[in-house]
Amino acid sequence: MPDSYENAILTDAPPLPAIPHTRRQERRWIVLLLLLGLGSTLLLTTLAGNAETFALLRDANLFFVALIGVTQFLRYVAMTGSVRVVAEIVKVRVPLTRMFQVTVAAHAANRTFVGGAAGVLIRLAFFLKRGMHSGTFVAVETIEDGASLAAVALLFITGLYVVLANGAGNGLRWDVIGLVIAGALALAGLVIFLLRRRALVERLAETLAQAVNRVIAKFAHRNLYDEHRVRGGVADFYRGLELAQTDPQRVFVSFCCSLAR
């Protein structure tokens, strides 16, 4: 289709624009989330016992502590690069420094709230303010998670091969390993099954949106459900996946970043 979204973006779109400078209000939120993560760390330290914690810190090897800090910093850089390069696939460019700050803030929130949803919401709010649609954001998360899963699978297989090559496989729990592999394959198969059935994805999205709307309506007394917006979000999601198929180089960069982290 010559007038399709994909062709319009890939052939007629101008170069990727840089976003404007960060608003002061956004920076306050990021600082607040960082402080929230720090506060939760101090709270856990207090609950564990300040004397015991400080004793462990005094006995810690400063070289290894610094090495852990540097490693964690580089890990955040790799995470930032992975998300940033996938966002460029859907024609959204963000400065590396800003994306790094959001990554750190998201992980600070994840340390405060269990489950990882807080970090996803922070990234969602960040990209929505830059014009990315929610469906496109889900596509970015799916692509990035897919690259991460492939990287983890490669590392797992490599580690298993090294263990077996050194003759240390007798102590392995093959039942647990088999369950992990079977679970990963089943999850990947389910995702592929759903992605190949767009009508089913639309129905699931509508059902989820209606369920969320019913919960919100009890408090806000408003109907926020819009069928056209839900279908538009699904369309944006599939357009993002189509763009990823036309830009395997950036997907590979995301894969390499996932390996590094």
Do 51 and 138 lie in a common domain?
Answer: no
* Chosen domain end from 116, 131, 146: 131
Do 114 and 153 lie in a common domain?
Answer: no
Q: What angle do CA 6, 10, 14 make, to 5 degrees?
A: 125
Distance CA 215, CA 43 (A): 32
Other CB atoms within 10 A of residue 139 CB: 25
3-class secondary-structure state, position 173: coil
DSSP assignments along 86-124, one per residue: HHHHTT----HHHHHHHHHHHHHHHHHSTTSHHHHHHHH
pLDDT tens, 122-155? Answer: 888 889 888 888 889 999 999 998 999 899 989 9
Residue 112 lies in a domain: yes
Q: Which residue has 């992975």 as its token pair? A: 82
Total domains, the chain: 2
- Residue pair 87/132 in contact by the 8 Å Cβ criterion: yes
Do 116 and 3 lie in a common domain?
Answer: yes
Do 156 and 119 lie in a common domain?
Answer: no
pLDDT tens, 161-196? Answer: 888 888 777 778 888 888 988 998 998 899 999 999
Domain span at residue 102 reads: 1-60+93-131
DSSP assignments along 222-237, one per residue: -----HHHHHHHHHHH
Do 138 and 98 lie in a common domain?
Answer: no
Do 166 and 212 lie in a common domain?
Answer: yes
**Global pTM exceeds 0.75:** no
